[in-house]
Structure 1
Amino acid sequence: MVNRVIDGRFELVERLGGGGMGLVWRAWDQALHREVALKEVRPPDPALGDPDPARDRELRARVLREARALARLNHPHVVTIHHIVDTGEDGFPWLVMELVTGGSLQDRLSDGPMAPAETARLGREVLSALRAAHAVGILHRDVKPGNVLLRPDGRSVLTDFGIAAVRESPGLTATGSFIGSPEYMAPERINGHEGDPASDLWSLGMLLYVAVEGRHPLRRATPLATLAAVLNQEVPAPERAGGLTPVLFALLNRDPAARPGPDALDRMLAAAHDAPPQNFSPHPGPPLAHPPHPPQ
C-alpha cells in the first residue's frame, strides 16, 4: 500500500488524532528525511449538514492565522511550524509542524494527577509560552491539557493556535460559532468580552488545578451547565495542591484585573516548585471564594 503524499513531499504515515476541524498525522518529509506532524484542516462532514461557504472561509482564515501566529513565535515551549501547504481558495491548507512524540498532558493525566512541584514546573513552561505569544499580540484562547504536548524528556510544548486572536486580524469569528473549550474558558469570555492576556491565565490556572487535583472542579453534565458553573459557582478549594494553592487562588479569580501579572505569577510558580512537600488533606477545604489579590 502506497501512503498518500502531500505537496509531492510529505508522506502520511499514521493518524495521530483529530477533532471537529481536522486531523493530525505523523508524516515523513521525503526532502529532509525527518518525521514531521501534518495538520490536515477539514470542515465538518458535509453529509451532516448543508454546505456553508461562510464557515469554510472562516476555517481557511483560521488555519492561515494559526500558521502566521506560530511563525511569529520562536520559543522552546511553543510548537514549531516548518511549512504551510496552501491548496488555493478552493481547498484547505495543511500545516507542517515539528513532531512532538511524548503525547499530550491530557494523556499524561489519564495515569493520575501530578505532584505540586511537577505541576508548578509545567506551569512555568506554559506561562513562558503564553508570555511569548502575548508579547507579539497573540491570545491563545484555548489553553487546556489537550493542547499541551510533552516531549519524551517531560518538557511541555503549547500547540493548537488555530483559534488564537491576533490583534490586527479582527472579524474572523463573526459567524457566531462557539470559540474555545467551556471547561477552560475564562468567565469574562463567557460573558461576551473578547478577553486579554488575563483570560489565558485563567485557563492556565484551571489547567494547573486539573493537573494537580486530577479532576475538573466545575465540569458538569453538559457544556451549557459547565458554562453556568464557571460563571456562577465557586471553585472548590484544592486538596492536593500544597504549595501550589496560592497560585490557584490567584489565577481562578473572576476579576481579570485581580489576577497576577506574568512576572508575579512566575515568582509564585517558582516558590511553589521549591515548596516542601505536604501531606494531602483527605477533606476539601472551603471554596476559592474571595482569594487575596496577588502582587502585580
Structure 2
Amino acid sequence: MIDDRFKLLERLGGGGMGLVWRARDLALHRDVALKEVRPPDPALAEYDPEAARLLRARVLREARALARVDHPNVVTIHHIVDGGDDAYPWIVMELVTGGSLQGRLDQGPMTPPEAARLGSGILAALRATHAVGIEHRDVKPANVLLRKDGRPVLTDFGIAAIRESTSLTATGSIIGSPDYMAPERVRGRAGGPAADFWSLGMLLYVAVEGYHPLRRENTLATLAAVLNDEVPPPHRAGVLTELLRLVLVRDPGARPDVGTLERMLT
C-alpha cells in the first residue's frame, strides 16, 4: 500500500528510471499506473547523497511540468506521492490499457499510412512537451502506449531528470536506448528537440520496415553504428520515404522543424 491510498496489483514494466505498477486507487475506485522512481544505481543515496537529492528534485520538477500538459497524446499525471528528502517519489498516472507500440510491432510492420497516423500523434505529444521545456530523450516503441482505439500516448518522460545530472551519467551507465538515441546525444551533447525528432524518425523506420537499421550485436557496436554508419534507404516506407530521408541525418540543424514534420505526416 502506497500513501495509504494506492494498492499495488501487478508490475507492468521497468527500465532505467524505475518500475511501473498497476495499482488500485482506493479513494476514487479506479486503476492507475504507479511509477516507482529509482536511479540506475540503487546505492546512489549512500555514496553521493547530493546527487540523490538533486535527482529527486529534478524528478519532481519534471513531473510537475508534465502535469501541466493537457494533451491526449501525453500520459496524464494524476498525483505525486512525495515521501520526503529520504525517499524517491512515486508518480501516479493514467492507466493506458491498449498495450505498447512495441507489442504491436512484435506482430509485424505497419503500413505507411498507419505509421504516419501514429507519427502524427507522437509528434503532437513532443510539440506539447517541448513547449513547456521537456525533451523526452528516450522516444522508442516501448515508451509509446496505445489507447484502445489505437491512438498513441507518449510516456516515461522522467529520464530527462537523470540525463541532466552529470554525476549520474559519469558512472558509465547509458541512460536511454542506444538504438533510438540521436548521434549528438551519443556524443554527450545537449541535444534539443531535433534529437527527439531523430528518435521519432527511427521509430517510424522500424514501424514500416520491420527491422532496426543500426542495431548491432551489442550496445557498443550499436553506438558506433549510430555515430558512423549510414541509414540504408527504406524499401517499404512509401510516402514516408522522404520524411525518413530528411530526419535521419546526423546534423541536427539539417533536420526538419516540427511544423515541416507535421505537414509531411499529414
Match of 1:130 in 2: 126
Match of 2:192 in 1: 196
Shift of 1:209: 0.5
Q: 1:243 to 1:21 in 2, by over 3 A?
A: same
Q: Extract unaligned runs of 5+ from structure 1.
A: 271-296
Q: 2:264 aligns with which of 264, 268, 280?
A: 268
Could you report, residue by residue, the CA deviation over 1:27-76 in whole angstroms, capped at 9, with x for unpaired residues?
A: 111111111110012345758xx755355334423431331231121111
**Where do residues 15-164 of structure 1 align in structure 2 (5 Å cutoff)?**
15-43=11-39, 46=42, 51-164=47-160
Shift of 1:192: 2.3
Letter in 2 for 1:29: D
- Residue identity (%): 72
Letter in 2 for 1:99: L
Could you report, residue by residue, the CA deviation over 1:70-126 in whole angstroms, capped at 9, with x for unpaired residues?
A: 112111100000000000111111000000011111111111111111000000000
CA contact (8 A) 2:55 2:165 kept: no
Q: 1:205 to 1:44 in 2, by over 3 A?
A: closer
Is 2:210 aligned against 1:210?
no
Paired with 2:93 and 2:146, the residues of 1 have a C-alpha distance of 15
Paired with 2:249 and 2:215, the residues of 1 have a C-alpha distance of 17
Q: 1:124 to 1:44 in 2, by over 3 A?
A: closer
Q: Normalised by the size of structure 2, how large is the TM-score?
A: 0.92
Is 2:223 aligned against 1:227?
yes
The DSSP-based 3-state class of the residue aligned with 1:157 is strand
Shift of 1:19: 2.0
CA contact (8 A) 2:198 2:247 kept: yes
Q: 1:172 to 1:199 in 2, by over 3 A?
A: closer
Letter in 2 for 1:33: H
The DSSP-based 3-state class of the residue aligned with 1:124 is helix
Q: Extract unaligned runs of 5+ from structure 2.
A: none
Is 2:167 aligned against 1:175?
yes
Match of 2:5 in 1: 9
The DSSP-based 3-state class of the residue aligned with 1:175 is helix
Larger radius of gyration: 1
Paired with 2:28 and 2:234, the residues of 1 have a C-alpha distance of 48
The DSSP-based 3-state class of the residue aligned with 2:166 is coil
Paired with 1:207 and 1:86, the residues of 2 have a C-alpha distance of 34
Q: CA RMSD in A?
A: 2.2
Aligned residues: 262
Q: Normalised by the size of structure 1, how large is the TM-score?
A: 0.83
User: Between Structure 1 and Structure 2, which shows a larger proportion of helix residues?
Assistant: 2
